[in-house]
Structure 1
């Protein structure tokens, strides 16, 4: 794309110590948007290592000035403020859009202009569908029911075997496209969410405006969720704080308490069962032990997450 050509889609990337992933991500974007004029904007929320690599090796990426570790939502908001296209496509640095995926997604958006946002399907490196494809806008009851339903919140999204596009509640935050005018209308991400559940909050506000959100299951992206460390204790803590922050924002005081105890009980189940199963299944001992270790702090340190993000960076 020439310097004076208006991009059809602005691709926003928030990096955090992403040197191991960013080259593959940018190469994937190029192969996914062969026919679509685009720009890539990146902000480094880490210590500057990813920005240094990008400046040296990936001149096609526009650098948005770093403000330190300001959070995923705030980082995307900064990138969006510099974007020139009518569509904003958020891509995690550990995600790789598959060939033609962005071309197909932009064409899909143009064929359904009344919608506000569009997404595809993400897969882990083994080819398994990412659970984030199936998020629903949660209710307090969902957090309680998650205690007896494999710890998952109620599943939304399209059926796993869907071949046609359809409406969903929430798009996978690692790969999602939003109309720039709708983004501006709702004010982008709520920056009080430091990490996790900010996309659920975003789509709650989009849906409250009466807009439709669509998924084309033929648009595919490979996403190494958690940058290869999906069961890290830090990731689970942030995820839990984010969920509770959403509950505190959108539910009544009673609803938030119900959600909080549902979260705690589900964590207890994982912590206990993981420890027990690690002793009973030697071939899977390492994974079950990691599961228990990741969720034990949620059980023991309830005050760290019970009130959500009180200053925007608890648990950092």
Structure 2
């Protein structure tokens, strides 16, 4: 039995994974014998090999599972968690970096709180967003602004918010008890789903802003396939929790229209084009699902 297992799901992440693993050991504050690092690689055969070659310096420190199914982010994490020997599991994206020691502090948190199921810290990134607003609590306009404000003020609400899935610690037994990641969700909206199931079991979620980690997020152009996948996951989430689909999609549509209005005032040409494309995809998705 280990104190903690770190689970990293990768997909063609050879350029990110080495520095990710380096940061774990750079800021390790428990004996190495009490830690295991599990990497679940969702890449194809050629990139599986590249990943192993990249991690050659840590070949005796990491366990790699090749996942030929690539059933998505949640399915990959479930493989890692089910095979983990740690009482505590840390789910970590390959573009996340430790910037300070966090492991001992996290283990202590769980040992002091027998109802604690999920824990995370302040995310430092281009946007500094550590938690988001659940779809059912989302405002009709200004969601991005409100998200930035509550993150700036560290106003995390277990009822209305959910922690970023890029980096969090969880009690393995409790996580398995709530049903793990829902593998029907390929990508996006896994976190509010997990949050709801934790709350239903009367377990606790803690956001500790006193410590932080780095997430190497980038502002990129629109990935239409990924955005459509996000809408699919949202639709599944709505159905799973018997939410008002029409109301929630209307809020999304209104918010994107409001963003487009602001970008036009500010003459943000790239953001205008991206938002126009997103609105078109939302419309197409709504129409397709209604037919």
Q: TM-score, normalised to structure 2's length?
A: 0.84
- Aligned mates of 2:198, 2:276 — CA distance in 1: 36
Which residue does 2:43 correspond to in 1?
A: 46
Kindly indicate whether the alpha-carbon contact (under 8 Å) linking 2:13 and 2:51 is maintained by their aligned counterparts in 1. no
In structure 2, what is the Cα distance between the partners aligned to 1:40 and 1:303?
44
Contact preservation (8 Å) 1:43, 1:66: yes
Q: Distance in 1 between matches of 2:157 and 2:62?
A: 32
Instruction: Specify whether residues 74 and 153 from structure 1 end up closer, same or farther in structure 2 by C-alpha distance, changes over 3 A only.
Output: farther
Deviation at 1:160, TM superposition (A): 2.9
Alignment partner of 2:116: what SS?
coil
Q: Deviations over 1:48-92 (max 9, x none)?
A: 455323322321221123133211111111111110000111001
CA–CA separation in structure 2 for the residues paired with 1:64 and 1:166? 35
- Asked if 2 retains the 8 angstrom alpha-carbon contact of 1:267 and 1:299, the reply is no
* Count of aligned pairs: 282
Specify every segment of 5 or more residues in structure 1 that has no aligned partner in the other structure, as ranges. Answer: 1-5, 308-316
Q: CA deviation at 1:303?
A: 4.7
Alignment-derived partner of residue 206 in structure 1: 198
The equivalent residue for 1:260 is 249
SS at match of 1:189: coil
1:178-217 aligned at under 5 Å gives the runs 178-217=170-209
Contact 1:12 1:90 survives alignment (8 Å) = yes
Partner residue of 1:10?
Answer: 5
The answer on 1:237 being equivalent to 2:228 is yes
Residue 158 (structure 2) aligned to one of 160, 168, 179? 168
Structure number with greater CO (CA < 8 Å, separation at least 6) is 2
- Which range moves more in the overlay, 25-34 or 104-113? 104-113
Give the corresponding residue for 1:68.
69
Residues 1:186 and 1:268: Cα distance change in structure 2 (over 3 Å): same
| Runs (5+) with no aligned partner, structure 2 | none
CA RMSD in angstroms, aligned pairs only: 2.9
For residues 99-118 of structure 1, the aligned pairs below 5 Å read: 99-118=100-119
Check whether the contact 2:260–2:272 (CA below 8 A) recurs between aligned residues.
Answer: no
Question: In proportion to residue count, which structure has more strand?
Answer: 2
Equivalent residue, structure 1, for 2:283: 299
Distance 1:194 1:116, change over 3 A: same
Distance 2:280 2:150 in 1: 32
